[in-house]
Amino acid sequence: MINVKILGSGCANCKTTFQLIDEITRSKGVEVELEKVEDMGEIMSYGVMSTPGVMVGDKLVHSGGIPTRSAIESWF
């Protein structure tokens, strides 16, 4: 089970990112635990300033804007 965190203050882009990752991991059959992080203090503790950001495990793979489909696929 891979832990995936979506870092963002709850803006529209963050929700889209969440849905996109959910959809792609489901269709690939990857088991992930998706988690929304909306607390600003926690988001920034990962060194992220541009939201939405994405962490796979404890590694930051994306920040600022909605990730592309091909980028998401390359993470899993």
Partner 1 sequence: MFIELGDLVAYGVLGLDSSSRLGQSVQFFIMDVSKIFFLLVVVIYVMGLLRAMISAERVREYVRGKPKWLARSLAILLGAVTPFCSCSSVPLFIGFVEAGIPLGVTFSFLIASPMINEVAAVILISVLGWELAALYVMSGLMVAYVGGVVMEKFKPEQYVEDYVWKIRMGEMQMIEQDNSLRGRHLFAMGEVTVIVKRIWKWVIAGIGLGALFHGYVPETWVIENLGGPDNWFAVPGAVIVGIPLYSNATGVIPLAEAMLGKGVAVGTTLALMMSIAALSLPEMLILRKVIRWPALAIYASVLAISFILVGWSFNFIVV
Cβ-based nearer residue to partner 1, 29 or 41: 41
Closest CA to 17 of 60, 74, 73, 65: 65
Other C-beta atoms within 10 Å of 65: how many? 12
Taking the complex as a whole, how short is the minimal distance between the CB of residue 6 and partner 1, in angstroms? 14
Taking the complex as a whole, how short is the minimal distance between the CB of residue 16 and partner 1, in angstroms? 10
Residues lying near partner 1 in the complex (CB under 8 A):
9, 11-13, 40-41, 43-51, 59-68, 70-71
Taking the complex as a whole, how short is the minimal distance between the CB of residue 71 and partner 1, in angstroms? 8
Yes or no: say if 14 and 8 are a contact pair by the CB < 8 Å rule.
yes
